[in-house]
């Protein structure tokens, strides 16, 4: 279990949730024998179902994920309820708690002010700008700016390209990294050396290696020379429908090590005894991987997917360094669209596009959280 809120008086959310769960389960089936622990019967409907049955006010699976993300990690040391403070769960410490609040907020204030000033407030204005016709007249036009952006051909091209890129590169980066981590878990000589090699692209600025990529993928470049030996026609890598291939390779080159480290840490965290038991039961390596390891890795997979997705949105960087401001159509990314809109300073278009992307990210991350929660919860 992840750490629980140490200092709040009264029940923690987790406890409330468990009580609700238990009560619901008791109502749903009086048959289930082990009603003492909030364990989930694998055959029973998952947490998503639970959350549907739960009242809307109660914490749902998304909230769980929030808790998990904000928690410091499983079994954190200060799990105790206030430790040396015997009255923590009860009465009589209002002065103390007021002091604690004051301390917390004082320490937070600088960062909060900065975040509010540089991100939150201007984003509110961005939302406002996306709903008016222009910054001089301030007339509300409803969602028409969004309509304009969504029907803008440049935006559509950029969104489609970015999605296409993410759809290919994220699964590749996650899958390959997982594979690599599984192999690296085995006994291999020079393991830490090999790990460093895979990690080093992360440190190297993309701009430094871009020349090598040019040499490889230029029309007169090396890859075409190699292909030529097999009698394959030259491909204009950066100016054809293959244009995303070099960028995907660059992306994987850069991110594989990072993902691999995360998976290696996740694999190292799986309790050994489970795997030992499975071995004794003569489960194959493949079964152990799919039935045990993958389940324990689900939260890692989620995190790696989110990070890769976010990094895939940053791939403009690589494209810009390879192909500049006006690349071939297949490489025209959302950030290109934003840059070009910045140039004309069309605040309405910019704002609507930014809000759309923010919404998209929130939805995607939410979906990933909920699915991870559904997939990974029966382990706890």
Partner 1 sequence: MVIRTVVTGSFAVLFLMPIILTITNSLMTVSEINANYGVIFARKNGVRVFISKTVNLKFIPDIVSFSQYFKVLFLSPEYLMKFWNSVIFVVPIVVFQLAVASLASYGFARYRGKVREVIFFSYIILMLMPYQVTLVPNYLVSSWLNIIDTRWAIWLPGIFSPFAVYMLTKYMRRIPRSIYEAAEIDGAGEWQIFTRICLPNCRGGLASIAILLFIDYWNMVEQPLILLSDEQMHPLSVFLSRIKTDEISLAFAVAVIYMVLPMLVFLYGEEYLVEGIVYQGGIKE
Q: Which of residues 72-101 bind partner 1 (CB under 8 A)?
A: 72-78, 80, 83-84, 100-101
Minimum CB distance to partner 1, residue 335 (Å): 6
Minimum CB distance to partner 1, residue 68 (Å): 8
Q: Is 330 or 338 the residue whose CB approaches partner 1 more closely?
A: 338
Q: Is 215 or 277 the residue whose CB approaches partner 1 more closely?
A: 215
Secondary structure (3-state) at 74: strand
Of residues 340 through 379, those in contact with partner 1 by CB under 8 A are: 342, 350-351, 353-354, 357-358, 361-362, 365
Binding mask 177-206 for partner 1 (x = CB under 8 A): ---x--xx-xxxxx--xxxxxxxxxxxxxx
Nearest-angstrom CA–CA distance, 278 and 294: 14
Q: Is 49 or 197 the residue whose CB approaches partner 1 more closely?
A: 197
Task: Give the CA distances from residue 362 to residues 220, 262, 308, in Å, rounded to whole numbers and listed in that order.
Answer: 43, 23, 15
Minimum CB distance to partner 1, residue 42 (Å): 24
Whether the CB-CB separation of 265 and 177 falls below 8 Å is answered with no
Binding mask 285-324 for partner 1 (x = CB under 8 A): --------------xx--xx-xx--x--xx-xx--xx--x
Which residues are 2's β-sheet partners?
74
Minimum CB distance to partner 1, residue 90 (Å): 17
Q: Is 104 or 287 the residue whose CB approaches partner 1 more closely?
A: 104
Nearest-angstrom CA–CA distance, 373 and 64: 8
Helices 153-185 and 191-203 pack at an angle, to 10 degrees, of 160
Nearest-angstrom CA–CA distance, 136 and 318: 37
Residue 163 touches partner 1, criterion: CB under 8 A: no
Whether the CB-CB separation of 167 and 350 falls below 8 Å is answered with no
Q: Which 8-state DSSP code applies to residue 56?
A: T
The beta-carbon contacts of 234-239 under 8 Å, at least 24 apart in sequence, are 238/322, 238/323, 238/327, 238/328, 238/331, 239/328
Q: First and final CA of the chain: distance in angstroms?
A: 7
Q: Which of 149, 178, 261, 331 binds partner 1 (CB under 8 A)?
A: 261
Q: Is 126 or 283 the residue whose CB approaches partner 1 more closely?
A: 126
- The token duo for 335 is 């950030």
Minimum CB distance to partner 1, residue 219 (Å): 8
Task: Give the CA distances from residue 73 to residues 18, 40, 70, 76, 263, in Å, rounded to whole numbers and listed in that order.
Answer: 19, 21, 9, 6, 16
Using alpha carbons only, what angle is made at residue 284 by residues 280 and 287, rounded to the nearest 5 degrees? 110
Which residues are 74's β-sheet partners?
2
- The token duo for 368 is 């990933």
Minimum CB distance to partner 1, residue 376 (Å): 12
Residue 328 touches partner 1, criterion: CB under 8 A: no
Total of residues contacting partner 1 (CB under 8 A): 115
Q: Is 33 or 73 the residue whose CB approaches partner 1 more closely?
A: 73
Which residues are 132's β-sheet partners?
140
Residue 123 touches partner 1, criterion: CB under 8 A: yes
Q: Is 132 or 261 the residue whose CB approaches partner 1 more closely?
A: 261
Residue 266 touches partner 1, criterion: CB under 8 A: yes
Residue 49 touches partner 1, criterion: CB under 8 A: no
Minimum CB distance to partner 1, residue 373 (Å): 14
Of residues 3 through 32, those in contact with partner 1 by CB under 8 A are: 3, 5-8
Q: Is 24 or 288 the residue whose CB approaches partner 1 more closely?
A: 288
Q: Which of 45, 86, 87, 122 binds partner 1 (CB under 8 A)?
A: 122
Q: Is 206 or 244 the residue whose CB approaches partner 1 more closely?
A: 206
Q: Which of 149, 178, 243, 256 binds partner 1 (CB under 8 A)?
A: 256
Counting runs of H as helices and runs of E as strands, what totals does the chain give?
18, 0
Q: What are residue 109's phi and psi, to 5 degrees?
A: -55, -45
Minimum CB distance to partner 1, residue 214 (Å): 6
């Amino acid at each position: 279990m992840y750490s629980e809120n140490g200092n709040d008086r009264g029940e923690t959310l987790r406890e409330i949730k468990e009580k609700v769960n238990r009560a619901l389960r008791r109502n749903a089936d009086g048959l289930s024998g082990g009603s003492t622990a909030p364990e989930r019967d694998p055959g029973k409907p998952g947490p998503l179902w639970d959350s549907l049955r739960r009242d809307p006010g109660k914490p749902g699976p998304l909230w769980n994920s929030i808790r998990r993300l904000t928690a410091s990690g499983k079994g954190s040391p200060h799990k105790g309820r206030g430790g040396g403070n015997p009255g923590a769960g009860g009465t009589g410490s209002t002065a103390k708690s007021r002091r604690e609040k004051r301390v917390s907020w004082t320490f937070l204030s600088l960062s909060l002010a900065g975040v509010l000033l540089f991100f939150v407030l201007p984003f509110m204005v961005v939302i406002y700008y996306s709903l008016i016709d222009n910054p001089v007249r301030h007339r509300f036009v409803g969602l028409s700016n969004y309509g304009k952006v969504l029907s803008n051909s440049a935006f559509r091209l950029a969104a489609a390209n970015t999605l296409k890129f993410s759809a290919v590169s994220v699964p590749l980066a996650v899958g390959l990294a997982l594979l690599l981590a599984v192999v690296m878990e085995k006994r291999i000589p020079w393991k830490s050396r090999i790990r460093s090699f895979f990690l080093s692209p992360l440190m190297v600025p993309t701009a430094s290696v871009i020349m090598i990529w040019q040499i490889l993928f230029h029309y007169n470049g090396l890859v075409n020379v190699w292909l030529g030996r097999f009698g394959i026609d030259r491909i204009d890598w950066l100016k054809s429908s293959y244009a995303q291939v070099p960028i995907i390779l660059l992306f994987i080159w850069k991110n594989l090590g990072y993902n691999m480290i995360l998976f290696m840490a996740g694999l190292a965290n799986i309790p050994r005894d489970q795997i030992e038991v499975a071995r004794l039961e003569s489960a194959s390596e493949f079964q152990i991987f799919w039935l045990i390891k993958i389940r324990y890795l689900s939260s890692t997979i989620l995190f790696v997917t989110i990070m890769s997705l976010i990094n895939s949105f940053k791939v403009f960087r690589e494209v810009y360094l390879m192909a500049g401001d006006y690349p071939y159509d297949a490489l025209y990314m959302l950030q290109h669209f934003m840059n070009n809109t910045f140039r004309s300073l069309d605040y309405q278009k910019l704002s609507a596009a930014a809000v759309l992307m923010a919404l998209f990210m929130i939805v995607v991350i939410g979906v990933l959280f909920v699915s991870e929660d559904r997939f990974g919860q029966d382990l706890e």
